[in-house]
Amino acid sequence: MTVRIEHIAINWDDTLPIFSSENYLKTQSDEYGWIGGFKGTDLRFILPYVKYKKSIFRFLQFQTSTIYVGGEATVGDEKEFLEGAVAFLRREGIDFTLQPPASAVFITHPQRCLYVPFGSYILDLAATEEELWSNVHQKHRNVIRKAQKNDIRIVWGNENVDIAYDLLTQTMDRSNMSFYDREKFGRFMDALDANARIFVAFYDEEPQGCAVIPFSGHSAYYLYGGSIKEPFLGSLNLLHWEAIRYFKSLGVRYYDFVGARVEPEKGSKLEGIQRFKSRFGAEMKVGYLWKVPLHKSKYTLYKSLVSLRDGGKGDIIDQERK
């Protein structure tokens, strides 16, 4: 049976990813919505998106991987849906889709798109706390105990938004990356409200690092992380361990460390970051990031203009394809 594609409205609830909620989508763009895939009269697939119009360009970015309704689907089912979604966007006059966020790892991709294998380290919080702790790497357990003995204090609460912002911008500056301005970050946190938590690690009342984690009952996502240049040993490990314990206590199903290259360069900073994530006992879910240049000449022009701004760095798909 052919999948029928159309725009839909959803009644968002806590079982769905936070990135599919209206509260989140409207932080990204004034134009947003959801594409639905139907088999007969039954809604089977959902893809939330945000849409942009800049100069002559009309483009769109999906915000999650495909959400299944009424059970799991096969790779073939999802590929059929994605093919239909791409054809639907072409009819709507969309010029291209952007790479989705690193949290949106698809199990497959449509044909005639630009794609790369990509993954994310995900921890299943259905395990007992004892099981979760036993699966943490010995080196992580050692430095977590050291941090606890040295009175590293982990505080969660959105009242620390200014401390978190300062840590995040310091971290981004060290990597020559940009971040929200302070006002926009505040609006982002206000919009998510009860569906986001800020965790901060303190040593002698001095902040060492932070994590900004949007969540629903579906998953908690380590979306942004920052730290001082040389945080106290184990403070960030303890921060994540306490966050894991916290979200488990709320009944959240998964803790997603968000984003992992399938083959990071040996000895690189990325390899070290991914090793840190994996040592919490998380399993790497491997799939794809993809984007589609529906109007190739406009996409080429847009990419050329963006490269002037970012020095030709490109997105993850561009980097991995090189």
Quick: pLDDT tens for 116-164.
999 999 999 999 999 999 999 999 999 999 999 999 999 999 999 999 9
| CA 198 – CA 222 distance, rounded (Å) | 10
DSSP labels, 58-83: EEEEE-SSPEESSS---HHHHHHHHH
In this prediction, residue 112 carries a pLDDT of 92
In the chain, domain spans = 3-112+292-321, 121-285
In this structure, what token pair is assigned to residue 268?
């690189």
Alpha helix segments (H runs only) across the chain: 22-28, 75-91, 129-134, 138-149, 161-174, 182-192, 235-249, 269-278, 296-310, 316-321
Q: What is the pLDDT of residue 98?
A: 98
pLDDT score, position 92:
96
Predicted local confidence at residue 1, as pLDDT: 61
Tally of CB atoms within 10 A around 87: 13
157 Rama sector, left if φ>0, alpha if ψ -120 to 50, beta otherwise:
left
Which single residue is written with the structure tokens 């020559």? Answer: 176
- The C-alpha atoms of residue 49 and residue 214 are separated, in whole angstroms, by 17
Q: Under a CB-based contact definition with an 8 Å cutoff, are residues 113 and 100 in contact?
A: no
182-218 residue pLDDT tens: 999 999 999 999 999 999 999 999 999 999 999 999 9
- Report the pLDDT value the prediction gives residue 55, as an integer from 0 to 100: 94
pTM of the complete model: 0.95
pLDDT of the residue at 194? 95
Q: Is it true that 3-112+292-321 and 121-285 share their CATH fold?
A: yes
Output the pLDDT for position 177.
84
How far is 132 from 140, CA to CA, in rounded Å? 12
Rounded Cα–Cα distance for residues 173 and 175 (Å): 5
Q: What pLDDT score was predicted for residue 197?
A: 98
| % of the chain surpassing 70 pLDDT | 100
**The pLDDT value given to residue 176:** 85
Q: Which residues of the chain have pLDDT under 50?
A: none
- Which CATH topology does 121-285 take? Aminopeptidase (3.40.630)
**Distance between CA atoms of 191 and 10, rounded to whole angstroms?**
18
Give the C-alpha separation, 116 to 178, whole Å: 24
Domain 3-112+292-321 matching CATH 3.40.630: the answer reads yes
